[in-house]
């Protein structure tokens, strides 16, 4: 019996690979440019030059500078989502476990991805479309807290999601001004307050609407 020939790869597989590689190259170069120059001073021309590419290729991948900033942040969203997925497993929740989660996962994420967070905040301020994308990211993060939203169904669903979104947004704003913009806070005090706030609000969410 003659061997069955291997299936030929899709004709466009090579083009798709080229597209992905170019996309990632522009994102990597944009990160370096933003880190070196800051978002306000950086230009599309700077990114194109760093990528050794062309403006035509840039605009085949990204709408503008704000769009590549958003895409840069979207690249780390799976890791951010994983953080809130971990938060959904708290028993109780226990204050010390919540505090350790904030210290070891949430604050570490903000420190590790300071460039991505800084540029997307500038992009949100400049472009309402990026701000809308950011709010959807918040909603997606909140969905990772699903066990705490189980009682918020039907007419109460919007209220539950809004409460959870507010909890995440408060955390984001504090971390942004503290860890990115450099407003001075005592780390231990901040962790104590955040842990108390998260424990209290997660209990309210777990109990459901009164």
- Kindly list the domain boundaries of the chain, sorted by start residue: 13-62, 74-207
Please give the model's pTM, rounded to 2 decimal places.
0.86
Q: Which residue has the higher pLDDT, 142 or 9?
A: 142
Residue 38 CA to residue 122 CA, distance in Å, equals: 10
Asked if CATH classification 1.10.10 holds for the domain at 13-62, the reply, yes or no, is yes
Average pLDDT of every residue of the chain: 92
Residue 190's pLDDT is: 97
Does 91 score more than 80 pLDDT?
A: no
Percent of residues, the chain, with pLDDT higher than 70: 95
Q: How far is CA 42 from CA 47, 68, 112, 116, 169, in A?
A: 8, 12, 21, 14, 27
Cβ atoms of 42 and 65 within 8 Å: the answer is: yes
Residue 188's pLDDT is: 98
Given the structure tokens 């918020």, which residue do they identify? 152
Phi, psi of 91 (to 5 degrees): -80, 130
Residue 58's pLDDT is: 97
Among candidate residues 59, 60, 51, the one with its CA nearest the CA of residue 33: 51
Residue-wise pLDDT for 162-180, tens only, equals 999 999 999 999 999 999 9
């Amino acid at each position: 019996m003659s061997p069955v020939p291997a299936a030929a790869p899709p004709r466009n597989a090579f083009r798709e690979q080229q597209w992905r590689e170019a996309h990632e190259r522009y994102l990597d170069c944009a990160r370096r440019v933003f880190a070196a120059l800051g978002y306000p001073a950086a230009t599309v021309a700077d990114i194109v030059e760093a990528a050794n590419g062309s403006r035509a290729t840039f605009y085949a991948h990204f709408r503008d500078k704000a769009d590549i900033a958003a895409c840069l942040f979207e690249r780390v969203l799976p890791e951010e989502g994983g953080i809130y997925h971990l938060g959904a497993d708290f028993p109780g929740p226990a204050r010390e476990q919540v505090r350790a989660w904030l210290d070891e996962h949430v604050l570490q994420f903000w420190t590790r991805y300071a460039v991505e967070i800084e540029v997307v905040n500038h992009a949100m301020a400049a472009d309402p479309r990026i701000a809308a994308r950011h709010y959807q990211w918040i909603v997606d993060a909140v969905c990772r807290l699903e066990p705490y939203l189980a009682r918020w169904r039907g007419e109460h669903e919007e209220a539950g999601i809004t409460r959870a979104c507010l909890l995440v947004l408060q955390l984001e704003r504090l971390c942004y001004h503290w860890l990115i913009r450099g407003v001075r806070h005592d780390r231990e005090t901040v962790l104590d307050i955040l842990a108390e706030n998260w424990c209290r609000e997660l209990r309210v969410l777990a109990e459901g609407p009164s």
